[in-house]
Structures are given as C-alpha cells and as structure tokens.
Amino acid sequence: MKGRIYSVTGAASGIGQAVVLRLAELGARGIAISDVNLEGLGKTKKLCEASEVQIECTRVDVSNPDQVDRWIADTVSVFGRLDGAANVAGIAAGDGDTTCQTIKKEEWDRTISINLNGIMHSMRAQLPHLPRPGGAIVNVSSTSGLRGFPYSAAYSTSKFGVIGLSASAAGEFGKEGIRINALLPGPIDTPLLRERASSGGFDADVTSEATCLGRMGKPAEVAKVLCFLLSDDASFVTGGMSHANMRTIGFLRI
Ligand code: NAD
C-alpha cells in the first residue's frame, strides 16, 4: 500500500479509526478521512502522527450525496489520485424493543439513508477515480446482513442491502480491474456496540458467547482484514463477503 491514497468514511471512531491507523502503518501516502464527528477525526489524525502519512479531515454526512461528491472531488484534487476506499460509516439506531410494528418512519429512513444509501453515494463518487486495473472498495456490512433479527429490522435490512449493492457493483466493474467486497464483522467492541447494549438491544456477554471464539472482536482485528481486501494480496477476491466468527448470526437478547 506504499505510496497509495485511500478514503475512509466513519473514521472518527471504532472500526473506521482502526482502518486509518492500519493504512498508515502499511505505508499509505495519503488518507482522506471523513465523519460527522470532526473532533473525533482530529483524534484519529493525531494517532497517526508518528507515521509519514498525510491525513486530510473533512466533515461529511454520508447520507448527503452532495457532501460526499464534494469530499471525493476535493480528495482527488489534493492528492492527485484515489487508489481505494473503505466505506465504514454506520449507525445502529433505535432501542431494543423497536419492532416492525412500532418503528418510527424517521428511524427507518435515517438508518437506510446512512447505512445503505451512504454506501451507494460513496461508491458513485469514488468509482470514476479508481485506477483500472487496481482500484478496490470495501463496504462494511455486518453478520446482521445475513439473517434478519428481531428488534433490528432497519439495521439488518440496511446491512443486507450493502451485500447486494457490493456484489452488483463487483459484477459491473470486475472486467475493468476494480474489486469490490463487503465485509461482515461479528460483534466488535466499539462505541456503536456498547450503545446498543446499554439501550437494551442485546446482552453483550451472551453475544460474545455466540461467537466461535467466545469473545468480541477488536476494531484493529477488523481493520487487518479490511486492509487485506483493499490490498493487491486480495487481487482475485471480489464480489465476496468476508464474515467473521458467529456460531449464531446476529445479536442475542437476554
Ligand atoms: P462507531 O460508532 O465506533 O463508528 C461509526 C462512525 O460512523 C462514527 O464515528 C460516527 O460518527 C460515524 N457516522 C455515523 N453517522 C454518520 C453519517 N451520517 N455520516 C458520516 N459518518 C457517520 O461504530 P463501529 O462499530 O466502528 O461501526 C463501523 C461500521 O461497522 C458500521 O457500519 C457498523 O454498522 C459496522 N459494524 C459494526 C459492528 C460492531 O459490532 N461494532 C459489527 C458489524 C458491523
């Protein structure tokens, strides 16, 4: 990844932040990082201070296509190119008792706008700039994208959508030498998961037990897989789903 330029959404926290640190460690020349949380982006940038990488921080709401387009256009004009993209930004809205009968329209729309439409807006902005061959995109879905889950309809639906979207795009751009994969982490110890646990969505200990390894993953462990998928070492991997580590898929309630 030496000398290359990447974009990362959702880079202020959790998995996105870990991806930025990993890209810096692997020798990326520049990383355009975005999030709605500008302060968090500053912290991510500070964590990369020891490496040579140039980090550009931009406040971008991925559900807003104009903001995403402007960010990617600016990235290409600052760095001169874009080699790969990690589309990580996402939310897990709602409390643990929301059903398909009680879910509010706003909550449904917000989840789909960020988790699914946000990935579409990002890819549409990134694809024209990626090198052919050699460009790569990784979109973060979830093991909740493999099976519907009670009290998690909006989140699960958005993550199912990311898998279909990524596989469709992989089929469209494979012949041009661009690879697009969906990554489906199991439970990872991040603020998103902790908030979900504290709002009663699931029991963190029970969920850990449901993984093959009997524990939650760390953001850095996901970042290693994501950066492998972005790298040339994954040159024959596209349209795929890399998923991790669940004996029972999804979140378990008490
Ligand atoms: P996190 O909350 O630590 O990070 C998510 C980041 O996305 C935050 O910095 C947040 O500010 C940002 N964000 C939220 N809305 C945004 C918007 N509209 N525009 C731009 N940025 C926005 O959570 P995380 O666990 O690191 O989640 C990262 C991704 O991984 C999400 O897509 C999530 O669904 C997915 N995921 C997480 C887990 C898990 O267990 N933590 C499991 C599977 C998938």
pLDDT (tens, 9 = 90+) of the chain, 254 residues, equals 899 999 999 999 999 999 999 999 999 999 999 999 999 999 999 999 999 999 999 999 999 999 999 999 999 999 999 999 999 999 997 667 889 999 999 999 999 999 999 999 999 999 999 999 999 999 999 988 988 878 889 999 999 999 999 999 999 999 999 999 999 998 899 988 888 777 766 777 777 877 888 888 999 999 999 999 999 999 999 998 766 555 544 444 43
What lies within 8 Å, CB to CB, of 205 at 6+ separation is none
pLDDT, position 14? 97
ipTM above 0.95, yes or no: yes
CATH of segment(s) 5-243: 3.40.50.720
pLDDT, position 82? 98
Which burial class, exposed, middle or buried, applies to 129 when counting CB atoms under 10 A from its CB (0-12, 13-18, 19+)?
middle
Nearest Cα residue to 51 out of 28, 76, 32: 28
pLDDT, position 95? 66
Nearest Cα residue to 208 out of 227, 189, 181: 189
pLDDT, position 134? 98
- Name beta bridge partners: 59: 35
**Which token pair is 227?**
């950066």
Q: Describe the chain by its helix, strand, coil percentages, rounded to 5.
A: 45, 15, 40
Where along the chain do its domains lie? 5-243
pLDDT, position 244? 57
Q: Secondary structure of 109-154 in the HEC alphabet?
A: HHHHHHHHHHHHHHHHHHHHHCCCCCCEEEEECCHHHCCCCCCCHH
Q: How far is the CA of 15 from the centre of ligand 1 (A)?
A: 7
Q: How far is the CA of 90 from the centre of ligand 1 (A)?
A: 4
Ligand 1 pocket, mutate which of 37, 143, 190 (most atoms under 8 A from CB)? 190
Write the DSSP symbol of residue 44: H
Ligand 1 pocket, mutate which of 15, 37, 64, 196 (most atoms under 8 A from CB)? 15
pLDDT, position 252? 43
* 37 within ligand 1 shell (Cβ under 6 A): yes
Distance of CA 126 to the CA centre of its chain: 14
pLDDT, position 169? 97
Q: How far is the CA of 172 from the centre of ligand 1 (A)?
A: 27
Overall pTM > 0.90: yes
User: What positions carry a catalytic annotation?
Assistant: 155, 159
